[in-house]
Amino acid sequence: MLTHRVFAAFVVFIAIALWAGGGPPATRGGSGPMVAGIQTGARLDDAAGRIEARGFSVERRLDDLHALEVSSATSSAVDAARALTAIEGVRYAEPVTGVAVADYPGDPLYSDQSSYLQAVNAPQAWDITTGAPDVLVAVIDTGVDVLHADLKANIWFNPREIPNNGYDDDGNGCVDDVSGCAFVSDSAPGCANVTNGLVRDEIGHGTFVAGIIAAPANGQGMVGVARNVKIMPVKVLDCYGSGDSVATARGIVYAARNGAKILNLSLGGLEDAQVVRDAVAEAMNVYGALVIAATGNSGTSGVAFPARIPEVLGVGAASASADRRAAFSSYGPEVDVVAVGEDVVGPIGQSLCNVFLLCIGGQPYAEGDGTSFSTPQVSGLAALLLSLNRGLTPAQITDVIRNSATPLRAGETGVGAGRIDMAAAVKAVQGNHPPGSACVVQSVEDGESFTCGGQRIRMLQMDAPDLGQCGGQWAKDALANIFLTPGRTVYLRYDSTRVDPAGRSLAAPLWRGNDGNDYNLAIIMVYVGLAKASDVGAGNLAFHDWSFASETWARTVGWNMWAPGKTFAGGC
């Protein structure tokens, strides 16, 4: 029985390496200076007088922010924030925090990378996270050069397998898979069949992809999008870069069953294959792994398979100028997002310099074009998001990446939600960590306090809708049955610098439902219906103390259960 052939598409491009020097300046910091936000309608001079009467010094007015910069001899920022927020007219208080030039790796080829990495705001995202070593990304491709100087530190090691003993020690179906597994048993003429733990890369494509994702910042070569995560090499393509649906499906299943949460497939074909669809479904639904695939380099309508599977995050390519689709990028409704796919830098084996791409200055690195190389940028972004929150589901990661993307110019087709914005996506996850601490509490009414993990918490006071508003009576009646009933496990999202006059942290409670979603119980009073935490939207919530941060986050990720700017009163 014939199997469907799957091909890895790539375009050769040659560039010259430039050296990058310097580094970020020292950051400004310290817990002394504070910013006190003043309530709308309150006069700054009146607030300043009350603040100074409490022993603080007002250093300057921030009229454009309707705030005051304050200094204090108090050693603790938390204590200062607590005292300031107890003063009439102060809406919030927080330390003045330091900022610096965005993360600028010292790897020599970073100057070649900077144009496309800056286009997707990677350096700003790196100020928040550069990835965590327990996040595992599978590169399902031609294999990976696991000894490459710019990759070997970030290659997955299987602790359950004894190297080179010819046995499947961990019983996962792959012999000697210390660093991954190969499934090439039906290779093209001229290529050897390669199976079990032999993940060597015979042309360099998979090595190139792996470097885009996770090359470390080690002072040599280039740097990956998620420089601290681990790569699991899974070889499903032969020495010509071709393979079939069976090998691809086996590679997907192997990666998911062995702990990879992000699966990068910079490959695709024209024909559909149920065996691959089944593998994708198992990876995502059983193991919670996100599959990310290239949409193809045909330059015409028609997204490649498996990128056109609805659950797969399909990635196209933007031009180097980043404001339009690259001419070679396949297009169609299945494209979710694009990343820059031209002049992308990646590592290849020294002995493969003229096999796949021409090396830069004789070094084991090259530049290339293609959706094969835009896709691992998105996989790296997904790994950054997981590094911040291990509980994110594949659907949530996809939503964050899509909703934080930058739309391209009007009328541009085949770009999905637009060009990825790594900083916006990372900030969206950073600002919304569901769930936080977990507690089992007795019935707690709006505004009351309880203890969680030794910390005294006050539930955020909410604005209940008037009875004349749509759903107002329903929302009030629902409290008796839904709102923090005895014995319910409740998760908390809180900021330790947000305190009430009694010194209690202010928190928004979450409840994890049987469907695995997190529900924000605090906004039951302003929503018609039980609302998911991800439904928090600008214009339709009434958090005292958290409304600005919540609405900013909602606008960033584009989540709004009604429509942008549509308030509760008009959302019947």
169 carries an active-site annotation: no
Residue at 86: amino acid letter: A
Same-domain pairing of 16 and 45: no
Residue 29 placed within a domain: no
| Domain end position, chosen among 95, 122, 137 | 95
Q: Is the pLDDT score of 197 beyond 60?
A: yes
**Catalytic choice (103, 112, 141, 201):** 141
Q: Is the pLDDT score of 133 beyond 60?
A: yes
Same-domain pairing of 369 and 514: no
Q: How many Å from the N-terminal Cα to the C-terminal Cα in the chain?
A: 57
115 carries an active-site annotation: no
The pLDDT tens digits of the residues spanning 210-233 come to 999 999 988 888 899 999 999 999
Give the CA distances from residue 513 to residues 296, 520, 562, in Å, rounded to whole numbers and listed in that order: 39, 10, 22
**Catalytic choice (179, 187, 245, 372):** 372
The pLDDT tens digits of the residues spanning 231-267 come to 999 999 988 888 888 889 989 999 999 999 999 999 9
- 306 cis-preceded (ω within 30 degrees of 0): yes
Which token pair is 38? 């003043």
184-198, 214-228, 490-504, 532-546: range with lowest mean pLDDT:
532-546
Same-domain pairing of 87 and 228: no
Which token pair is 320? 């180097």
Contacts of 567 by beta carbon, 8 Å cutoff, 6+ apart? 539, 540
| Domain end position, chosen among 95, 119, 136 | 95
| Domain end position, chosen among 52, 71, 95 | 95
Task: Specify the residue for token string 């972004």.
Answer: 381
Map 495-536 to HEC letters: EEEEECCCCCEEEEEEEECCCCCEEEHHHHHCCCCCCEHHHC
The pLDDT tens digits of the residues spanning 297-327 come to 888 889 999 999 999 999 999 987 768 898 9
Contacts of 86 by beta carbon, 8 Å cutoff, 6+ apart? 501
Same-domain pairing of 80 and 118: no
Same-domain pairing of 81 and 177: no
State the burial class of residue 298 (Cβ atoms within 10 Å of its Cβ: 0-12, 13-18, 19+).
Answer: middle
> Could you list the residue range(s) of the whole structural domain that residue 532 is in?
437-570
Q: Which of 552, 439, 570, 454 is nearest to 493 (CA)?
A: 439
What is residue 263's predicted lDDT score, i.e. its pLDDT?
98
Give the three-state DSSP class for 111: helix
Q: Is the pLDDT score of 434 beyond 50?
A: no
Residue 25 placed within a domain: no
Same-domain pairing of 219 and 296: yes
145 carries an active-site annotation: no
The pLDDT tens digits of the residues spanning 9-66 come to 322 211 111 112 222 222 223 346 788 889 888 899 999 999 888 888 888 888 867 8
Contacts of 82 by beta carbon, 8 Å cutoff, 6+ apart? 499, 503
Same-domain pairing of 113 and 185: yes
Q: Is the pLDDT score of 119 beyond 50?
A: yes
Same-domain pairing of 70 and 205: no
Same-domain pairing of 334 and 426: yes
What is residue 178's predicted lDDT score, i.e. its pLDDT?
96
Domain count, the chain: 3
Same-domain pairing of 384 and 320: yes
Task: Specify the residue for token string 């004894």.
Answer: 162
Q: Is the pLDDT score of 8 beyond 80?
A: no
Give the separation between CA 488 and CA 443, rounded to whole angstroms: 8
Q: Which of 528, 530, 533, 512 is nearest to 562 (CA)?
A: 528
Residue 228 placed within a domain: yes
Q: Name the percent of the chain lying above pLDDT 90.
A: 33
Task: Specify the residue for token string 């707690």.
Answer: 444
Q: Is the pLDDT score of 97 beyond 60?
A: no
* 549 φψ region: left (φ > 0), alpha (ψ -120 to 50), beta (else): alpha
**Catalytic choice (205, 336, 505, 545):** 205
Q: Where is mean pLDDT largest: 83-92, 225-234, 492-501?
A: 225-234
- 348 phi and psi, to 5 degrees? -140, 165
What is residue 173's predicted lDDT score, i.e. its pLDDT?
93
174-178, 242-246, 428-432: range with lowest mean pLDDT:
428-432
The pLDDT tens digits of the residues spanning 346-388 come to 999 888 887 778 888 888 998 888 899 999 999 999 999 999 8
Tell me the HSE value of 294 on the side-chain side, using a 13 A CA sphere.
34
Question: What is the full DSSP assignment across 176-243?
Answer: T-SS-EEEESSPPTTS--EEET----SSSHHHHHHHHHH---SSSS---TTTTSEEEEEE-S-TTSEE
Question: What is the full DSSP assignment across 251-268?
Answer: HHHHHHHTT-SEEEE--B
Contacts of 499 by beta carbon, 8 Å cutoff, 6+ apart? 78, 81, 82, 85, 505, 506
Same-domain pairing of 441 and 394: no
Which CATH number fits the domain that encloses residue 544? 2.40.50
Residue 120 placed within a domain: yes
The model's confidence at residue 439, banded by pLDDT at 50, 70 and 90, is low
pTM for the full predicted model: 0.64
Question: What is the full DSSP assignment across 377-411?
Answer: HHHHHHHHHHHH-TT--HHHHHHHHHHTPBP-STT
| Average model confidence (pLDDT) across the chain | 74
Same-domain pairing of 416 and 449: no
